[in-house]
């Protein structure tokens, strides 16, 4: 049945094909809907009494898929400072698995943008970001995250190569001593990552590779937050590509899929440059969500 195939397709991918749903359901009578339910064993089950009902997991998934368009619109409407402040506050509430969102914002925004987010946080929540991070985070990530959001980095092009090489050696030593102390707790490593300019850190990254024969991120494979920090600061294209590919994988979890909306809304210039990622997105997004986020990318700057 064509309608059955169309209905199944409407719920496949990221987002929902609202036009197909309107076309099918608005013109369906009771018997037609009954045949659709019987044919959609992926979504419906029949109990011992012959009652047809939606799988509970399907109800949850449909709510999430319908919500994607709304979330994309809201994030796009917000002032960038308010958007980042709200994303940080939500990540704090959700806990350690979501701290990478805080890293992403702290490390990829300019100094003025990050300062703006801190001002917005004051107004919205009557606390500072630093205060809430320090009081709510109990793990080894606390010092690094507080330092990152407090940063106001030099944004000029000047780099002292001797200092960069020396700091690459400091990071190498911190990582090699991981059996004694986690690199994320090393005071010198935190100082380097939270205070140095991005051009300086990119030079540190290059010196590290020459000294160790591997990149910092290769050596930090198991250090989630620290790896995210280094990638965001030194190779942001690598970081965002990794996030997007995780969102588009067949076994992507809900958190990975949510990251897709966040990155599309906040990193439109990157999305335009990465045409291959954009092509992948076009093939998996659906409905109004697809139309909206592709329109955002086509629109240019954030």
- The binding site consists of 11, 13, 15
Assess contact for 298 and 290: CB atoms under 8 A: no
Which residues belong to the annotated binding site for Ca(2+)? 11, 13, 15
How far is the first Cα of the chain from the last one, in angstroms, to the nearest whole number?
A: 43
Both tokens of 44, joined, read 């419906």
Nearest to 151 by CA among 201, 185, 186: 201
Chain center to CA of 265: 10
CB atoms within 10 A of CB 179: 6
């Amino acid at each position: 049945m064509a309608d059955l195939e169309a209905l199944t397709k409407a719920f496949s991918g990221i987002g929902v094909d609202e036009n197909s749903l309107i076309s099918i359901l608005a013109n369906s009578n009771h018997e037609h809907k009954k045949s659709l339910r019987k044919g959609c064993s992926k979504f419906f089950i029949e109990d011992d009494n012959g009652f047809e009902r939606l799988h509970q997991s399907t109800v949850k998934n449909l709510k999430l898929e319908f919500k994607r368009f709304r979330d994309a619109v809201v994030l796009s409407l917000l002032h960038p400072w308010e958007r980042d402040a709200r994303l940080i506050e939500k990540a704090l509430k959700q806990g350690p698995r979501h701290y990478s969102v805080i890293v992403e914002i702290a490390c990829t925004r300019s100094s003025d943008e990050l300062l703006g987010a801190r001002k917005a946080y004051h107004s919205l929540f009557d606390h500072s970001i630093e205060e809430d991070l320090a009081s709510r985070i109990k793990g080894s990530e606390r010092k690094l995250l507080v330092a990152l959001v407090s940063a106001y980095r030099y944004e000029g092009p000047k780099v002292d190569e001797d200092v960069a090489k020396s700091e690459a050696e400091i990071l190498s030593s911190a990582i090699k001593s991981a059996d004694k102390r986690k690199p994320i707790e090393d005071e010198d490593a935190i100082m380097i990552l939270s205070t140095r300019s991005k051009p300086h850190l990119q030079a540190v990254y290059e010196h590290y590779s020459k000294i160790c024969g591997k990149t910092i991120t290769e050596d930090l494979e198991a250090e989630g937050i620290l790896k995210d920090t280094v990638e965001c600061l030194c190779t942001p294209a690598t970081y965002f590509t990794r996030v997007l590919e995780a969102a588009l994988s067949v076994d992507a979890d809900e958190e990975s899929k949510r990251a897709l909306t966040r990155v599309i809304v906040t990193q439109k210039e990157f999305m335009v440059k990465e045409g291959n990622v954009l092509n992948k997105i076009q093939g998996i997004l659906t409905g109004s969500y697809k139309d909206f986020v592709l329109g955002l990318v086509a629109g240019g700057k954030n």
